[in-house]
Structure 1
Amino acid sequence: MALKLRPIAPAAGVMLLVAVVDLALGSSVSLLPLLVLGPLLAAAMTGPAPTAWIGAVAVVIAIAIAGATDMFDERRFYVGVGTVLAGAVLAPILSASRTREHRRRLAAERGRVRADLLARAGELFETGTDPLDHLDELAALAVSGLADLAVVDLIGPDGALRAAGAAGARPGSAEAIRASRIASPVDLQSNHPVAVVARSGDPLLLRDIAERDSEEWATSREHFEIIHRLGYGSAVIVPLSARGRPIGTMALVRFRGRRAFSRADLSTAADLARRAGVAIDHSRLGAELGETTTELRTVLGALAEAVTVQRANGEVVYANQAAAQLTGFDSVEDLLATPLSEYPQRWEVRDEHGDEIDFERLPGRLALAGEANPAPLLMQIVNRATGVRSWRLVKARPILDAGGQPRLAVNVIEDVTEQRDHEMAQAFLVRASKLLGASLDPAETLDNLADAVVPDLADWCAVDMPDERGVLRRVATADRRPERTREASLIVRERSGERALPVGPPQVMRSGRPEYYPQIDDALLQAAALDATQLDRLRAVGARSAIVVPMIAASGVIGTITIGTIESGRALTPRDLELAEELGRRAGIAVEHSRVHGERSEIAATLQAALLPPRLPAVPGVAIAARFRAVGGGDTVGGDFYDLFPLSGAPPGWMVVMGDVTGKGPEAAAVTSLVRYSMRTAAMYERDPSRVLRRLNDVLARDDHDRRPCTAVCVRVLTRNGRVRITVACAGHPPPLLTRRDGAVEPFGRPGTLLGAFDEGHWTSVSIDLRAGESLVLFTDGVTDTRGAAGRFGIGRLRRVVAETAGRTPDEMAAALDEALLAFQEGRQRDDVAVLVLQADPHDDAASTAGGASDAHDSTEDAGSSPAAA
């Protein structure tokens, strides 16, 4: 209450003095008008309400004095009281006007101070230095315009509040508070006003700090003594915030005896703290950005993959060290300084198939064009200066701006050269091996060899081999541009002995060692050219690189392979040399194998032809046709055979034999030859087929150590008096099929013992007359055993085909059966196939009137009760 009465005490004192003097003077003198000094003095010192109260007191005192001096009837009473009353009314009005003016000036001053503080704070934090280095200056700024003590606390990584800046109007006050904060930090979870504001983010105004508050908030005894000694009177605590998150506080204190902080002061402090918080946050963000940028550059620099960033115009704005190394630049700076227009001059870029790449289809360009997830692109890049080819896998992603439009593209470039070269080498060898093994013809094998090289390994390839005189000849070529092969030989293929070349195929042929020319210079061309004309042609070709390797077989070097690059622009590498050497080894084996196969096939064909009739003889009254396919494709002698030869003696006749010797190859051929000539010999003494088989069995069963069983069917053909009579005996062989003109088909013949399996056997001869157009079809088990999707061809299908062709010529019947077998067959042929068709000649009248099946009879050669006969 004393504080509220203090402004009106002078006015009350003046009025009391006037009243005492007036009463002392009595009625002789009236001082009533002087009481107006009280309200007027109050109007100058206090507000309207206290002034009005003083005015009312002045009027009351005037009336009281008038009553004490009995002045009510006098004119001076009315003048005096009227003067006081007028002053009592006017004084509040004057006080109100003065108060408004004071408040206006005070507001203007506070605004000036506020603006000055904020401006100085702006200058403080716009120096470009770290705001954390200016927190003491911030506190001093607050002390200069607002407070007696200012403390800035920041929330540390451990969650504790620590004094980061302090300033005080009294000497030593800031240092004392700072030392106290260091010794006893404010617990963020405590009830200390600083902790409360730091947690909530709301400013706090403490108009009057009591002693008990100081005791409660002190973090230590020393802290309390500092507060008590300085005499905290009022305080404002405002948060330092950034993006809605408190990062610290600023506490301003006024000591006792100073005006308490107001809401306006709180607002000013909050603005000052907000400015500081934003500056501190920007500083932290800048520091974090700098650290992040440094870390990012370090991480990207340590990556094995190359990373580049490009703008929409294609300009590269970032590249790591791996990108510089991968693109052949000495430094990242050189890469960034190279304009895009120079890239095509440095490198030739193609896709994995060798086609040129449009730069607008690169993943980075697609990302900048709006494609969110461009497909990775595998590229082959040839350095135009060195000719070195490398493989790159490029991936890209766009970086979008605030509007969702691509602003940058990040490219990740992986060097997959080693992996890709290995894959290509393996694929090349697989493909080359398939081509080399695709044919057993030597000439075709050599052509396949050259084709395997171009364009996978090189731009051109030449294969040279010595002829029968030992002169090196070009036997196969391949080129990206076929017309160039005839125009110029990039490495000469031959030269006379006294002028033998020191380089190229002739030298490799002699030494057996490869030659590697990563860069072809003019000196090499001069050494390789036969004459000036060829030298000019070689220069015009523009070969860049070449390799010559030997083709090595078991017998030694059999030829050379020359490969080179021209329009691809790349230089052949040591890896290509290794690949070419491996190709030379495989090619040597393949070519040698083709040679051996050719020689073996020729021998087998010659031997096979010797085991079959060179041509089918003309048998009177009988038309004959045959088909034979050996299982080995011409390089193996089969075990199936057939033969036709005339019988000696009368009546005239022919013997037809078909058989199958166990096994293949030379051994089977020897047995086949033995069987054929033994049967011919036996037929000189025996005319009955069963007796011929018995004599043949005696020959085959004679060798107990190396018996090779044999099946056979023996048919005797007699043409007498216009009749065609056949007699059939079987020895373990499928009986032939008798085919009528109406399509009826039935097996003809009786089963007999396998030849050579036993010492004794049982064979039966069966005879029949063939009418004109009727046929007897002999076949081996290779026909019925042919495998297809539905299983074996079988006797049922064979009979259907024979029935469908009944009445046709023997050649048409044999051809139809062979075609049916080939159509049915799946995979490779598993056994020899032999078919022989005998048909009574329909143009022979005697045959047309010959007897039918009713004329059949048996002629049996009985071997007794042997196990075989049983």
Structure 2
Amino acid sequence: MSTVGYGKPSRGGDDPWGLVPDEAATARALLDGSGRITHWNDGARRLLGHTAAQMLGHSAAELLADPVAATATAPSGDERPMPWRGTVELRHRDGRRLTVRLLAHRLQQHEDGSEGWLLVSPLAGTERTEEDDQLPRPAFLYAPNALALYDTEIRLRRANHAMEQVIGLTEDEARGLRLSEIGGKPQSIELEEQLRQAMESGRPRDVRTRLRTGGEPREHAWLGRIAPVWDTRGELVGVALSAVDISGEDRAQARLQLVNDASRRIGSTLEIGRTALELVNVCVPRLADFGSVDLLATPYLHGDAPPSLENGVLTLRRVAHRSTREDTPEALVETGQVWDHAIASSPVRAVLSGEPVVLHKDDPAFHTWAEQEPLRARHARELGVHSILSVPLSARGVTLGVAQFLRYRRPDPFAPDDVLVAQEIVTRAAVCLDNAQRFTQERETALALQRSLLPQRLPQRSAVQVASRYLPAAGQTGVGGDWFDVIPLSGARVGLIVGDVVGHGVRASATMGRLRTAVRTLADVDLPPDELLTHLDDLVLRLSEETGGEETAGDIGATCLYAVYDPVTGACTVARAGHPPPVLIDPETGGATIMDLPAGPPLGLGGLPFESAEFSLPEGSVLALFTDGLVERRDQDMDEGYRVLHEALAAPAVSLDARCGAVIEALLPSGAPGDDVALLMARTRVLNAAHVVSWEIPADPASCGVARKDIDGQLTWWELQEAVFTTELVVTELITNAIRHASGPIRLRLILDRTLIIEVSDTSSTAPHLRRAAGFDEGGRGLMLVAQLTQSWGTRYSAGGKTIWAELPLPDNYAGFDGSAVR
């Protein structure tokens, strides 16, 4: 039950404090904060002769017979929580002086800022009566702890010595008053109602409440037993209240609950700031009025030299803090900032000693600290800080920092039991913080490793225009092994690859780097996509075998997708190993569809075949290759992920890079994926037919001359006269080798791209190789000459034979060929 409106003017008959109509038994008045009367009951009228209408709004000082003398003994605000009691000389309406026994309660301040006083004085029942002596004496004598007896009007008749100490009044001073008038607090009103209900029902009941005992600033927890009292004739004569102080048990239970809550709430993530905030959220306000967590720049390993105190101060970085007040006036720095602490401060002493440190405002150590840090000490005094507790954050033999707690609203200082509880909570939090720091360091290492292994810049080729995004996993999962790459291939072709290594952390990043290197090596020999995945599968098996003696044996696996696009023919060959299929955007309709590919097993299973599929892509088609983290989430079905992906890909965009960003924003609006995300988008191009020319070469040495003549004419049309001599030498050597060592039809093809590409194809599968010719050898120098004259060269195989290719750099002053010239 709450008391509302007692600080505001009210009608005399509307008693905001009363529960029953017994106005004749007690004189009762309410005063606001300025001492003006806001309530005047009928008992007050009987006592002094003034009506409520005459007294409301008037100063209570007008009733004093001797205002000067009475002022000296008047209650003094918040001087003490117990009620003021005594006798005062009041003036009756007819002029008589009355000596009145008065009990004054300071009322709590309400949300609207109102406060005031409750004044009560018993008019009857102040002397012990024969009826009081008839109350059952055995129940009173043998009741444990504090005991009070109330009559049927819920007015005090008897109180033992223990109860007198609880209420802060003697039996004679409180006799005749209701419990609500004795206590003057909302809890007293609630307890009085419990007494009334027990008496009306005739059944005893147990109640729990929290009240301050007389003269003490700290609340006590009480267990009360309320029972009706009958006389020997069976008539109800009152109700008994027995109270047991269970503050110790209550505090122990609260501390145990606090530790349990800390175990449950601290360490929910592996983020340092979040873990530190969870620590202070648990402790404020249940343990302190303010809590903070500050970390050392370098953790202090026990047994090593103590942290450096440069210029006599220790530098700490604020990670988290919380106050019982929204404006957090205790925090002198914001989170993320560093600040220095003097050697006498409790945080420094806690870090150096490894033990909790408590400072009280009257301790000599507090004054020593105040001399070294006068500004902070003055700030603490202005807030009213009277107790400071600093607990080192230590885990696994390393001190990470310090947690500090302040009390200034709570009147009681930090007790030894509070220190033990704080130490238990902070120790558990320190382990979580240490785990978070270790995870953060490993994550940063893995992320740095992964970024160094991923392509820093994607090569822009004539075959495709590319854009990409990579987002590392957020939260506790750590950096994974997702990767992507764009690999230039011979014949102006390009290889597009996206992969995902099982697991997270440094091991996954290292495995990703090895697989990416292997893919580039295998792509250099121009293996078809299905064969490349077969070799990659063998590599993953060997990597798993190498970890056979470790805990993660056999835990290496990966998925991969590899596509090869040829801008000359517009053909795209794709194979996948357990990886999500790519999405294709049609350049005419703008619609997005999933490419129909054989699934293929994940890498690392071994013994299972991979299949590839070939597609003919019109110019301007967009391929979207991605890892499963883009479309898979715990809270979302994969079909829904693909639906959102299709909508984002089909939406208009000013550029390929903008479309790439729109896809990430649509599928990961928070920007914090649960798994690594790699996205690679490529828009296809088709080479102008005028940039490609081919000839059938007869298997006759005389055909070399015809080929040189054709080359001269073609390069002249392409305005590459400077390259004619070198090209003729290279073509002559390659055709001669094909005629001498191969069989079947021979084809010569020139491609004008970023370089001049020469290709000679035959039906033989014999691989050419460089060899060192002796001084008197007549042959063996052809490929050596080709290697010296060209930028690069190599061999690729097909079902019908092989192709030897070479690339010549274009002249620096070459302006290009647009294909519009008439040949």
CA 1:385/1:555 → structure 2, altered by over 3 Å: closer, same or farther? farther
Deviation digits for residues 512-567 of structure 1, max 9, x if unmatched? Answer: 222345x6426443233125666655555444444333222113333333333223
- Would the aligned equivalents of 1:525 and 1:539 in 2 still touch at CA under 8 Å? no
Partner of residue 716 from structure 1, selected from 536, 555, 564: 564
Deviation digits for residues 665-714 of structure 1, max 9, x if unmatched? Answer: 33333332111111111222216333433443454455683474543221
SS of residue matched to 2:330: helix
Aligned partner of 1:747 in structure 2 is: 595
Partner of residue 669 from structure 1, selected from 485, 503, 509: 509
Aligned partner of 2:572 in structure 1 is: 726
SS of residue matched to 2:266: helix
Aligned partner of 2:522 in structure 1 is: 682
Matches within 5 A, 1:778-789: 778-781=625-628, 786-788=633-635
- Would the aligned equivalents of 2:645 and 2:667 in 1 still touch at CA under 8 Å? no
Aligned partner of 1:479 in structure 2 is: 323
Aligned partner of 1:110 in structure 2 is: none
Cα distance between partner residues in 2 of 1:526 and 1:340: 50
Q: Does 1:437 align with 2:267?
A: yes
Aligned partner of 2:422 in structure 1 is: 580
CA 1:365/1:813 → structure 2, altered by over 3 Å: closer, same or farther? same
Cα distance between partner residues in 1 of 2:270 and 2:452: 23
Aligned partner of 1:598 in structure 2 is: 440
Larger RCO (CA within 8 A; separation ≥ 6): 2
- Would the aligned equivalents of 1:548 and 1:560 in 2 still touch at CA under 8 Å? yes
CA 1:674/1:472 → structure 2, altered by over 3 Å: closer, same or farther? closer
- Would the aligned equivalents of 1:657 and 1:714 in 2 still touch at CA under 8 Å? yes
More strand per residue: 1 or 2? 2
Cα distance between partner residues in 2 of 1:443 and 1:379: 38
Cα distance between partner residues in 2 of 1:314 and 1:703: 86
CA 1:755/1:322 → structure 2, altered by over 3 Å: closer, same or farther? same
- Would the aligned equivalents of 1:450 and 1:478 in 2 still touch at CA under 8 Å? yes
Cα distance between partner residues in 2 of 1:526 and 1:314: 52
- Would the aligned equivalents of 1:445 and 1:590 in 2 still touch at CA under 8 Å? yes
More helix per residue: 1 or 2? 1
Q: Does 1:455 align with 2:285?
A: yes
Deviation digits for residues 792-835 of structure 1, max 9, x if unmatched? Answer: 525x863685278436455676667656766999xx97765544
SS of residue matched to 1:644: strand
Cα distance between partner residues in 1 of 2:176 and 2:417: 32
Report which stretch shifted further, 374-383 or 705-714.
374-383
* CA drift at 1:296: 1.5
Matches within 5 A, 1:40-439: 293-299=136-142, 301-302=143-144, 306-310=146-150, 316-320=156-160, 323-324=163-164, 334=170, 337=173, 357-358=185-186, 361-364=189-192, 379-382=209-212, 387-393=217-223, 410-433=240-263, 436-439=266-269
- Would the aligned equivalents of 1:310 and 1:409 in 2 still touch at CA under 8 Å? yes
Cα distance between partner residues in 1 of 2:580 and 2:295: 51
* CA drift at 1:427: 3.5
* CA drift at 1:715: 0.9
Deviation digits for residues 593-636 of structure 1, max 9, x if unmatched? Answer: 23222212211221232343335443446344445555564762
Aligned partner of 2:614 in structure 1 is: 767
| Letter aligned with residue 640 of structure 1 | D
CA 1:556/1:710 → structure 2, altered by over 3 Å: closer, same or farther? closer
Cα distance between partner residues in 2 of 1:702 and 1:571: 65
| Letter aligned with residue 438 of structure 2 | V
Deviation digits for residues 71-103 of structure 1, max 9, x if unmatched? Answer: xxxxxxxxxxxxxxxxxxxxxxxxxxxxxxxxx
CA 1:379/1:548 → structure 2, altered by over 3 Å: closer, same or farther? farther
CA 1:623/1:321 → structure 2, altered by over 3 Å: closer, same or farther? farther
Q: Does 1:654 align with 2:494?
A: yes
SS of residue matched to 1:618: coil
* CA drift at 1:416: 3.5
CA 1:640/1:860 → structure 2, altered by over 3 Å: closer, same or farther? farther
CA 1:340/1:485 → structure 2, altered by over 3 Å: closer, same or farther? farther
Aligned partner of 2:369 in structure 1 is: 528
Aligned partner of 1:854 in structure 2 is: none
| Corresponding residue pairs, total | 528
CA 1:398/1:472 → structure 2, altered by over 3 Å: closer, same or farther? farther
CA 1:390/1:670 → structure 2, altered by over 3 Å: closer, same or farther? same
Query: Structure 2: which 5+ residue stretches go unaligned?
Result: 1-129, 299-307, 547-553, 690-796, 801-823
Cα distance between partner residues in 1 of 2:151 and 2:230: 11
TM-score (norm 2): 0.53
SS of residue matched to 1:530: helix
Cα distance between partner residues in 2 of 1:538 and 1:823: 44
- Would the aligned equivalents of 1:641 and 1:660 in 2 still touch at CA under 8 Å? yes
| Letter aligned with residue 319 of structure 1 | A
Q: Does 1:793 align with 2:633?
A: no
* CA drift at 1:656: 0.7
Report which stretch shifted further, 653-662 or 621-630.
621-630
Cα distance between partner residues in 2 of 1:717 and 1:670: 28
> Pairwise CA RMSD of aligned residues?
5.1
- Would the aligned equivalents of 1:689 and 1:716 in 2 still touch at CA under 8 Å? yes
- Would the aligned equivalents of 2:229 and 2:239 in 1 still touch at CA under 8 Å? yes
CA 1:735/1:400 → structure 2, altered by over 3 Å: closer, same or farther? same
Aligned partner of 1:645 in structure 2 is: 487
Cα distance between partner residues in 1 of 2:366 and 2:635: 59
CA 1:814/1:574 → structure 2, altered by over 3 Å: closer, same or farther? same
TM-score (norm 1): 0.51
- Would the aligned equivalents of 1:607 and 1:637 in 2 still touch at CA under 8 Å? no
Aligned partner of 1:124 in structure 2 is: none
* CA drift at 1:441: 3.6
Larger Rg: 1
Cα distance between partner residues in 1 of 2:620 and 2:651: 6
SS of residue matched to 1:682: helix
Deviation digits for residues 52-75 of structure 1, max 9, x if unmatched? Answer: xxxxxxxxxxxxxxxxxxxxxxxx
Cα distance between partner residues in 1 of 2:544 and 2:331: 65
Cα distance between partner residues in 2 of 1:420 and 1:785: 49
- Would the aligned equivalents of 1:730 and 1:751 in 2 still touch at CA under 8 Å? yes
